[in-house]
Amino acid sequence: MYAALRSIGSYVPKNILTNYDLEKMVETTNEWITKRTGIKERRIASSDEVTSDLGYKASLQAIQRAGIRVDEIDMVICATLSPDYLTMPSTAAMISKKLGIKNVMAFDISAACTGFVYLISLAKAFVESGAKKNILIVGAEKISSIIDYEDRSTCILFGDGAGAAIIDSTEDKNEAILDVIASADGNYGDLLITPGCGSKNPIREDNVKDKLQYMKMAGNEVFKIAVKTLTNDVIEILQKNNISPEEIDIFIPHQANFRIIEAVRSKLNFSVEKTALTISKYGNTSSASIPMAMNDLYENKKIKYGDLMLLDAFGGGFTWGSALVRFAGKNFN
Residues acting as catalytic residues: 113, 254, 284
Is residue 280 at the binding interface for ligand COA, with CB under 6 A as the rule? no
What count of other Cβ atoms lies within 10 Å of the Cβ of residue 206?
Answer: 8
Nearest to 163 by CA among 138, 135, 136, 134: 138
Is residue 256 at the binding interface for ligand COA, with CB under 6 A as the rule? yes
Q: How far apart are the first and last CA of the chain?
A: 28
Number of residues that this document lists for the chain = 333
Nearest to 233 by CA among 87, 94, 121: 121
With CB under 6 A as the contact rule, the residue among 47, 103, 199, 220 that binds ligand COA is 220
Is residue 147 at the binding interface for ligand COA, with CB under 6 A as the rule? no
Residue (135 or 264) nearer to ligand COA, CB = 264
Query: How many residues interact with ligand COA (rule CB under 6 A)?
Result: 20
Task: Decide: 297 and 250 in contact? Cβ < 8 Å.
Answer: yes
The site string for ligand COA over 30-69 (x = CB under 6 A, - otherwise) reads: --x---xx--------------------------------
For the bound state, the minimum distance from the C-beta of residue 298 to ligand COA, rounded and expressed in Å, comes to 23
The site string for ligand COA over 154-183 (x = CB under 6 A, - otherwise) reads: --x---------------------------
Is residue 152 at the binding interface for ligand COA, with CB under 6 A as the rule? yes
Among the listed ranges 59-67, 117-125, 220-228, 321-329, the one in contact with ligand COA (CB under 6 A) is 220-228
For the bound state, the minimum distance from the C-beta of residue 318 to ligand COA, rounded and expressed in Å, comes to 9
Is residue 201 at the binding interface for ligand COA, with CB under 6 A as the rule? no
Is residue 85 at the binding interface for ligand COA, with CB under 6 A as the rule? no
User: How far from chain centre, in Å, is Cα 14?
Assistant: 19
DSSP per-residue letters across 185-220: -GGGGGGEE--SSSSSS-S-HHHHHTTTTS-EE-HH
Residue (228 or 330) nearer to ligand COA, CB = 228
Nearest to 188 by CA among 146, 151, 231, 224: 224
What count of other Cβ atoms lies within 10 Å of the Cβ of residue 150?
Answer: 11
281 exposure class (CB count in 10 Å sphere: 0-12, 13-18, 19+)? middle
- In the three-class reduction of DSSP (H, G, I as helix; E, B as strand; rest coil), residue 60 is classed as helix
Among the listed ranges 97-105, 150-158, 207-215, 238-246, the one in contact with ligand COA (CB under 6 A) is 150-158
Distance CA 322, CA 235 (A): 10
For the bound state, the minimum distance from the C-beta of residue 147 to ligand COA, rounded and expressed in Å, comes to 12
Is residue 318 reached through a cis peptide bond, with omega within 30 degrees of 0 on the bond before it? Answer: yes
For the bound state, the minimum distance from the C-beta of residue 26 to ligand COA, rounded and expressed in Å, comes to 7
Is residue 223 at the binding interface for ligand COA, with CB under 6 A as the rule? yes
Is residue 315 at the binding interface for ligand COA, with CB under 6 A as the rule? yes
Among the listed ranges 2-10, 178-186, 216-224, 274-282, the one in contact with ligand COA (CB under 6 A) is 216-224
